[in-house]
Amino acid sequence: MTAKEYLNQAHHLDALINSHIREKDELQQLAFCISSPSLGERVQTSRNTDAPFVRTLEKIMQLEDRITEEIDRLVDLKAEMLSAITDMTSNEEQVLLKYRYFEGCTWEEIAVRMNVSERTARRIHGSALQNFIVPNES
């Protein structure tokens, strides 16, 4: 795995978590809209007699568990990434990688924060990626 691929993992995992959170929110809204069968309806024993909202609530709980696991993975990944960045010798490269991969800054924002041109920011980034040591995958 390249340094850039490794560092982009957190952004991709964060996007996945946000997608799951939106899905959970939609399911929660749906759960409030689902009606249960009326008492006058004939219920066959061969079919599932749970109210429709119960299945939706089960899906919500499963999704919440998945979100929690992914958040735990994201926290661990960010800690590992931060440790690897901190081990780098150049403070300038460390700062740039934190801006880019932790704060999601654009090249323009990085250039302004570091008081350099965008071209210089990109050059520092290239150097940082070459000097970055990807932690061993376990």
Cβ atoms within 10 Å, residue 99? 20
pTM of the model: 0.70
Residue whose entry in the numeric block shows the structure tokens 């490794």? 6
In this prediction, residue 127 carries a pLDDT of 96
Angle at 83 between CA 138 and CA 109, to 5 degrees: 120
Span 22-76, pLDDT tens digits: 888 887 787 776 555 555 555 555 555 566 667 777 888 888 889 899 999 999 9
The pLDDT tens digits of the residues spanning 91-106 come to 999 999 999 999 999 9
- What's the CA gap between 110 and 119, in Å, rounded? 11
Would the pLDDT of 9 be above 60? yes
